[in-house]
Amino acid sequence: MPETRRIGQIIRLKPECLQAYKDCHAAAWPAVLKQIKDCNISDYSIYFDDRSYTLFATMKWTGTDFEADMESMKANPEVRRWWEMTDSMQETLVDGSTGSTDSKGWWKDLEEVFRCE
């Protein structure tokens, strides 16, 4: 029985990386986009706040095994290459995290306090 989760996450963008971050996301690698879909993630958006330099991501996951989907994401070498690039443009808000492949995560997961489907 598939279930749906909505995920909200934040991270800080390094100010000097703003244009490069926008550019690479405007032309995201097809293998990365395919892996996102293969992991049952949809409606994935990243928003940018120009005052706090915070990036805010939201996505919807609909599947049967969230952990397995996240593992297959991590196992994809193209995704890891993408993360190597994007991690270097960001400053995590997760204490002690070393990067996107760390089990702590690189983006900080937020609590959902309201939902209206």
Contacts to a second copy by CB under 8 A: 6, 8, 10, 21-22, 25-26, 28, 33, 36-37, 41-52, 54-58, 60, 93, 108, 110-117
Q: Is 25 a catalytic residue?
A: yes
**Minimum gap (Å) between residue 65 Cβ and a second copy:** 21
**Minimum gap (Å) between residue 104 Cβ and a second copy:** 15
Q: Which is nearer to a second copy, 50 or 67 (CB)?
A: 50
The active-site residue, picked from 5, 25, 81, 104, is 25
Q: Which is nearer to a second copy, 48 or 66 (CB)?
A: 48
- DSSP letters, 71-88, are HHHHH-HHHHHHHHHHHT
- 86-105 exposure pattern, b = at least 16 Cβ within 10 A, e = fewer: bbebbebebeebebbbeeeb
**77, amino acid identity:** P
Task: State the pairing for strand pair 54-63/3-13.
Answer: antiparallel
| C-alpha torsion angle, residues 58, 86, 36, 4 (rounded to 10) | -30
**Minimum gap (Å) between residue 4 Cβ and a second copy:** 11
Residues that are catalytic: 25
